[in-house]
Amino acid sequence: MEVKNCKDCGRLFNYIGGVRLCTECKKKLDEKFVEVKEYIRENKGATIPMVAEACDVSQKQITQWVREERLEFSEESSVTLQCENCGAPIRTGRFCNMCRAEMTRNLQSAYAPVQAQRASKDGAKMRFLDQ
């Protein structure tokens, strides 16, 4: 375990990986996330700047959630992000479906041994749970 400064409040905390935020700031961010998600559900036409304004969250944070596929804007929404590969408009994640399919194909050939390993590990765990 490492001790680091929280990215948000600057306090020292025990860093366990992932986002560099202390427990308190992480909790606050989670609450914000729920608020933003609710807001988007109720205001289907909302744009990212509108959501940022209404929920008091940075546009960057909202975009990040969308990129992480935690948030998704509805079909009616005018919000679109760009596929990081080809620039096609998308509503969630980082890549459009076509690029994603292409990448999955490439990844499958490159990481096939790793995937097989993981699958067998999961298989072992499932057997364990069955007992």
Cβ distance to Zn ion smaller for residue 39 or 102: 102
Cβ distance to Zn ion smaller for residue 9 or 34: 9
Q: In sequence order, what E strands does 6-95 have? A: 12-15, 81-82, 89-90
Q: Is 81 in the site for Zn ion (CB under 5 A)?
A: no
Site string for Zn ion, 31-70 (x = CB under 5 A): ----------------------------------------
Instruction: State how far the Cα of 13 lies from the Cα of 31, in Å rounded to an integer.
Output: 20
- For residue 102, CA distances in Å to 31, 70, 95, 125 come to 36, 22, 10, 31
8-state DSSP, 18? S
The footprint of Zn ion (CB under 5 A) covers: 6, 8-9, 22, 25, 83, 85-86, 88, 96, 99
